[in-house]
Amino acid sequence: MKLEYRKAETGDISTLVHMLADDELGATREDTSEPLNPSYVDVFHEIERDANNELTVVECEGALVGMLQLTFIPYLTHTGSWRCLIEGVRIASGQRGKGLGTEMFRWAIARAKARGCSIVQLTSDKQRPEALRFYESIGFSATHEGFKLKVTDSKPTR
């Protein structure tokens, strides 16, 4: 199976939102109504403008089968280094269990190395035990405890 990686395009947004919504957790937090919620388009363009963010889609035989977002973050720690944060990883439901995730992560880690990152990190919801097992199977370690605070009704101050 030959995977092709490319930068996400505006025309992909609706498909990506549906992919994000295609599991128990995503179904409760994504808005798949049509017309598409304009917040998705606004944030897509913010990601597109940010040189340290890459929203990547994965295609196989012309079909969009996966997605992930890479965020490159400079840190003073670790002797002033860069990290790559991998988020928003999804594989189309009909394509799961075929090894695409492993291939996507190989690609993402190679991309992080090419950008000079010394650490690749990710978060995964504790309600996704299969995902947690998968990340450990490809070499990630749960070395830290993560915390999140949901802030509602916040508006950007830019």
Q: Please indicate, yes or no, whether the overall pTM of this predicted structure exceeds 0.75.
A: yes
Distant-in-sequence, close-in-space partners of 81: CB < 8 Å, separation ≥ 6: 74, 75, 117, 118, 119
Q: Residue 52 has which token pair?
A: 């340290």
DSSP 8-class letter at 11: G
Q: What is the pLDDT along the chain (158 residues), one digit of tens a residue?
A: 799 999 999 999 999 999 999 877 778 888 899 999 999 999 999 999 999 999 999 999 999 999 999 999 999 998 999 999 999 999 998 898 899 999 999 999 999 999 999 999 999 888 888 899 999 999 999 999 888 898 887 666 66
CA gap 76, 97 in Å, rounded: 38
Q: Residue 55 has which token pair?
A: 């929203």
Whether the CB-CB separation of 104 and 3 falls below 8 Å is answered with yes
